[in-house]
Structure 1
Amino acid sequence: MAKSKVLVVGGTGYIGKRIVKACLTQGHETYVLQRREIGLDIDKLQMLISYKMEGARLVEGSFSDHQSLVEAVKLVDVVISAMSGVHFRSHNILLQLKLVEAIKEAGNVKRFFPSEFGMDPAKMEDALEPGNITFKEKMIVRKAIQEAHIPHTYVIANCFAGYFVGNLSQMTTLLPPKDNVVLYGDGNVKACFMAEDDVGTYAVKAIDDPRTLNKTIYIRPPENILSQRELVKMWENLSGKELNKHSISAEDFLAPMKDGEIAHQVGIGHFYHIFYEGCLTNFEVQEDEEASRLYPEVEYTRMNDYLKRYL
């Protein structure tokens, strides 16, 4: 079966660059949107040029020029959006809705992957403010996709290891703690952690798969479903050093939400839902909805191996 032509929007971002890499590795004719708004961002420009040297095609377009988006979309079969921001970037909903309109007008796209790749917004109706806006906006995009009758796949990738594993899920650092580690509650609530490259691999695997059409796919391999306490134990075994553990109650953890910058409040809310409520693992996923069962040939990264890079 011929491989789909894929347009990646947000290809220089944290997950976007992994998706571009996966598209090229898996043999897709890969197009990357080169936004005119790039200005003097030399790092992004050099990244785009590197994609071109690896075989991708750069397509110029702008969210302030609707027709340029339509023309870019017309070149491909599949559009993947990776414009998600860290914790809180409300303006991205407007960009995604513009992309949905371009896809609707082009009329040729056989699959659209919107910017998701985190928690499932459909299961976060009761999320705390202000972090609930993240999920509400994703649901607005989903509604627009479905009302436009655009074929789609939603990818739920849970916790990115770079943000949650190397630091043993501490909020104030990205590096492993040296002496003390804070446990959320008893530390036994299960979450799911994914290496970012694997997120790209699984998402791209789903592009031409009829089993994933108009469905939500969860990247939740069983060996990566771990509690924070299990994660800490892995690090202790690898580093040969036992950490001093301090538990924080849900009430004390949520107390700082009354003050501080909004991005920090959003982060606290998301951590609360993950590590106190278990929002990533407190529901069943059917066999045909879970990526590691759909694609058993993928050798995904186990978190014990991921942690070794920090030694």
Structure 2
Amino acid sequence: MSLIDIVVVGGGQSGLAAAGALRRAGRRPVILEAGEEPVGSWPRYYDSLTLFSPARYSSLPGLPFEGDPDRYPYRDEVVDYLRRYAATLDADIRTGQRVVEVTADGPRFGVHLADGDVLAARSVVAATGGFGRPHRPSIPGLDRYTGTLLHACDYRNPEPYRGQRVVIVGAGNSAVQIATELAKVARVTLATRAPVRFAPQRPLGRDLHFWYTVTGLDIAPIGRWLRHPPTVPVLDQGPYRAALAAGRPDRRPVFTVVDGNLVTWPGGESESVDAIILATGYRPDVGYLAPLGALDPHGSPRHVRGMSTTHPGLAFVGLEWQSSLNSASLRGVGRDARRVAASLAHVVRSAGQ
């Protein structure tokens, strides 16, 4: 069995950024992507998804977005961009390769694939994001709901819900964007645990990401936020706040119980609901690392700024709040990838490999 220098698990934005940084550091990464092409989860997001950062702030290192740098790219533009980025990498990209388990054999790793193959590697970078592990909140009766129940990862467009009664659970950018879109064709409630927080998309005429850059906020270490990250406000140029103010959608506290297709609101009122969409975020999809003991009891990585605290040759790229508020974004993942590549190089030198 030949020894691979470093395996990058995942060929989306995080894996591609990691591979680029590793190549620049003189490493020879092999990217293992479960899908048919190295674009990650982007083709599976909802049709109308629009980035909340302009093109000039939404690129990976070494390849700017084409076109107007101040526009907000759509989902399909991101997919095309990642295809171009992958084509520029001098890396071994293997698609249709799903990793099911990573084990340790002394200082080396065994990377087990769904087809039964096992690859040996000096180092592993887990860059699989969270799309494959959607978070579903615990609400009494939700698992027995008889209407249409789905997570935002399975939502595509409003047509299947035309004329229906729909509840969206969540208060983030995706929740508000989906709820506002659906409210044009359905009766929609945005159910949240607290009032929705908004931040202006373009304060003083410049996009918020410009201000993040000039103030250094987007690269500031997050310290204690790593354990208790703050809620990120919804970025808005006005339409979303106006839609909520007009009651399209309306907002209510999260329902307390589900019985069949009935939801009960905190005030005691019950009503029939056709569909519930959970826009409740994601958790790191790294279950394949469980055999290593590299995860905490909740299935999250044990790490400091992307470097495993249990295995010196194991690293992570693309975790939310990995080192800054933009760590899981197109804008921020490149910085974390560079840091991880440098740290892994130090591990290699220390081990004399």
TM-score band, normalised by shorter chain: 0.3 to 0.5
- Between structures 1 and 2, the one with greater helix share: 1
Q: TM-score by structure 1 length? A: 0.34
Q: TM-score by structure 2 length? A: 0.30
Larger radius of gyration: 2
